[in-house]
Every structure is written in structure tokens, then in C-alpha cells.
Copies of this chain bind each other. A is one copy, B any other.
Amino acid sequence: MKKVIINGIVVTASDTYQADVCIENGVITQIGSKLSTEGAEVIDAKGNYLFPGGIDPHTHLDMPFGGTVTKDDFETGTIAAAFGGTTTVIDFCLTSKGKSLQSAIDTWHAKSKDKAVIDYGFHLQIVEGSDEVLSELPKVIENEGITSFKVFMAYKNVFQADDETLFKTLLAGKELGALVMVHAENGDVIDYLVKKALAEGNTDPIYHALTRPPEAEGEATGRAATLTALAGSQLYVVHVSCAEAARKIAEARSNGVDIWGETCPQYLVLDQSYLEKPDFEGAKYVWSPPLREKWNQEVLWNALKSGTLQTIGSDQCSFDFDGQKTLGKEDFSLIPNGGPIIEDRVSILFSEGVKKGKITLNQFVDLTSTRAAKLFGLYPKKGTIAVGADADIVIFDPNVERVISAELHHMAVDYNAFEGKQVVGEPVTVLSRGEFVILDKQFVGKAGAGQYLKRAKYGEEKVTEEVGSVVS
């Protein structure tokens, strides 16, 4: 059935204007002043913004880590995402040395298929640049539409790949049209520092931060950028947390390197001092890279404003405090890394960024949705409000004030990293391909409604079939 959203203010990555939006068959078909509502379900968005549904390019749902598994799976995780204004997630499919990539992908399909309430795709981890792995990549792209590969430069003896693997992955990315993503920290250095800290009896959560210094992130970021330049390829640096890393990205971009940077809400509003909270509460704030000294926040905001960083991921990777985070009570290195951010990613950026004048409204849309769609081959179906695009739309009240709290959130974990934080703005209604997932702040979607997204190759931005030919 046709729907018309009236009276809202449409916001895209470049434009802001009042218009009605008509949806047919899950697709936006008209945008106009005083559109006909004949035979249509009318949704009045008066006083609200219409944003393209958020795209979270960095989630770990139902992921095993250090003997436990993340609390949020594809059902609770995507429900929470939808509450927060996100209509697409791209999750990291982990692989293992010696096993086929396809087997890992199959596992990830099994995790997500009947659970996701919004659309989703996968990035694929590359652990080794062996001939077997490299030869499987074209099929992965062709059959699965997976056009982004992830390499870890840290987590020694677990996920960490060497420079040979990274370089070969970059070359494959160039040849095949895929975007290479890196977790950029020098794992060798960190591994040593962690062992040394533990050997010296330094087991508290704060040592998680102290053993992962910003220099180790800056170094790895610069190294990955250099390898990208040498490969003539493209790179996406996930979860940039500090000035050192941002500077390396800025330098490479100035030199014409095709490099992109993501940061996360936690690095923009939390800082290293949180890890020193008493009663082991610091464990709630254990991310890798770690939270940094507070002055880095301004650097990161400037990087978003000036275009040095282009996206916001949640790095959703949620563990209960009780029973999971507490595994590291005697040894910080056993604390599962990560936190529950998927639900508040959009709101934090709106409230702290737009409302405080650090970024514009259009930059906000670009950062939370459009740029990720373009980089990861989802555009123009996803990432914008335009004729021909999927009707993934968030009706957002920009003025409501509320307090973030684990009591109210929809993630499956027992704490919220932003507990008590006052924010302005909240999604009211969220549509996925024209269907309500959230209606008047109530969940009305259903598990399995989310579709798996085959993604286009890097750099290929197609006009959807229905309305026209390829434009580039």
C-alpha cells in the first residue's frame, strides 16, 4: 500500500527542505510539495526530520570472543538498531585459518537469516593471504556480494595478520573492486606491553588503556596507509580513536591516497578516565583501541567536520557486565572487548554533534548513513532519501529530551555505556523498505524481515534498475 509522509523536513547528505514523501512498493517514488495522498496511508511528520535510515557499518552480532559470545544477536541487535534509527547493519564475518571463506559466510547467514528485523550485509575477515584464500575472493564477491574485507593488525596470535597478508588483500581489493578495512594497532607492541603489565601485577581495567598506547594506533594507521598507496588500492580504517591516527589519515588523503576513516560515538564522548571507575566498573569501558585522553575528542570532532573522517560505526560488541566483563576481574586482558552502542550511535551524533554546532545536519546524515552506503556498495538503494531509493526512513524528533539508560534501552545487556547521559532528539517512527519497524516508538517489525544485502563493488554507484541506467 502507498504511504505518504507529510509535513516532514527531508534531510540528505547535502540538502534540507520541507516536502512530502510518497512511498510505493517499498521505494520512494515522489518527493514534492503537497503531494496527493489519495489512497495512501498518511503519516504526519510535522516538526520532525526525515533522515535516510542509518547504516551501521561496524557491528559484531552473535560473535564469539575470548570464550564467550556477544550478548546481542541479530534479533536483539537489529531491534535495538532500529529503535536508534538504524535500518542497515554490516556485520563482520569472522574466518579461521585453514577453513574456506564460504564456510564462514554460511555460518554468518545461519546466525542472521531468520533473526534480523532490518537489512544487513557482511564484511569478510581475511586472516591470511594464502593462495587458497585469495582465489576464493572472486567467488565471494560474485556469489555473496561481499565487497569489503577486514584485516586485523592487532590481537597477536588470534586475529592478527602480517603485512604480507594486508598488502595482498589490498592488491586483491584493487583488482576485484573491494574496500579493505583495517583494525589498526601494532599488535606486537601491545602483546608485549600486556604481558609486561600482567607480570608486574597490574591487572586493573585501566591497564587495558595503558598497554595500548595511541602511538601504536598511529603507527599501524600510517603503515596501512603506506601499503595502500603502494598497492594503489583503497582503505577504510575502522574505529579511529586518537589524534595520531587521524593525522596519518589526513596526510595520506592530502597525498591523494584513497583512504577513509571511521570513528565511534564512544571515542567522541567518553575518555580514558572511565577505565579507572571503581569496583571494576572500568571494565564496561574496555574497547580496542581504548578510550583516549579527553583532548582527543576535539581532534576527532574536527576530523569529522573537516572531512578527515567520514563515517560513524558503533563497533557494537556487547557483553554483560555481570558474568562476561567480570571474566577479567583478576586480569584485564580477559575482559571481553567492546560495548553496546548500536542503539545510541545516531542519537549521540545528533545530540553532541549537530545540536552543539560541531557538525552540520547534512554532515550528520552523511556520517551516519550516506557515506557508508556509498563506500560499501549499498547506494543508491540505501543511504539517502531520493526517488528510486528504498524507503528506509527515520522520522526523527529533534527536540525531545531524554536520558540514556540501560533500563530503557533495547539491547540485551545489563548496562549502557552512556548511562545517565542527557541527549536531545529521538527517532519516532522508522521504516524499512516502506514497512514500519518502529511506529511511535514501539517495535512493530518482525524477526526475519530483514534481507541480506549483496553489495556492489567499490566505486560502483548505480542508479536503481527501475528508474534508469547506470550513471557511475
Contacts and interface: CB of A to CB of B under 8 A. Distances in A.
Given A164-B192, A192-B164, A17 B468 contact: yes
A17 B386 contact: yes
Contact of A387 (B32, B164, B246, B298): B32
A441 to B, nearest CB: 23
B30 A361 contact: no
A289 B15 CA distance: 34
A29 interface: yes
A218 interface: yes
Contacts of A471: 9, 11, 16, 361
A354 B32 CA distance: 29
Given A29-B33, A215-B229, A222-B219, A467 B16 contact: no
A349 interface: no
A19 interface: yes
A10 B463 CA distance: 10
Contact of A32 (B29, B193, B384): B29
A235 to B, nearest CB: 14
A463 B168 contact: no
Contact of A388 (B33, B162, B354): B33
Contacts of A13: 13-15
A143 interface: no
Interface string A21-56: 010000001111111000000000000000000000
A223 interface: yes
A425 interface: no
Contacts of A191: 164
Interface in A360-387: 360-362, 366, 370, 380, 384, 386-387
B230 A14 contact: no
A67 interface: no
Contacts of A227: 186, 189, 219
A186 B386 CA distance: 46
A14 B12 contact: yes
A219 B246 CA distance: 16
A22 B230 CA distance: 48
Interface residues on A, range: 35 or more
A354 B461 CA distance: 14
Nearest to A9: B471
B188 A461 contact: no
A29 B32 CA distance: 5
Interface string A222-240: 1100110110000000000
Given A15-B380, A17-B387, A361-B471, A188 B215 contact: no
A188 B166 CA distance: 10
A204 to B, nearest CB: 21
B305 A256 contact: yes
Contacts of A354: 472
Interface of A: 9-19, 22, 29-35, 156, 162-164, 167-168, 171, 186, 188-189, 191-193, 213, 215-216, 218-219, 222-223, 226-227, 229-230, 246-247, 250, 253-256, 298, 301-303, 305-308, 354, 360-362, 366, 370, 380, 384, 386-389, 461, 463-464, 466-469, 471-472
28 contacts: A9-B463, A9-B468, A9-B471, A13-B13, A13-B15, A14-B362, A14-B366, A14-B370, A15-B384, A16-B463, A17-B386, A17-B389, A17-B463, A18-B468, A19-B386, A30-B33, A31-B32, A31-B387, A167-B188, A186-B223, A213-B230, A215-B226, A216-B226, A250-B250, A250-B254, A253-B306, A254-B303, A361-B472
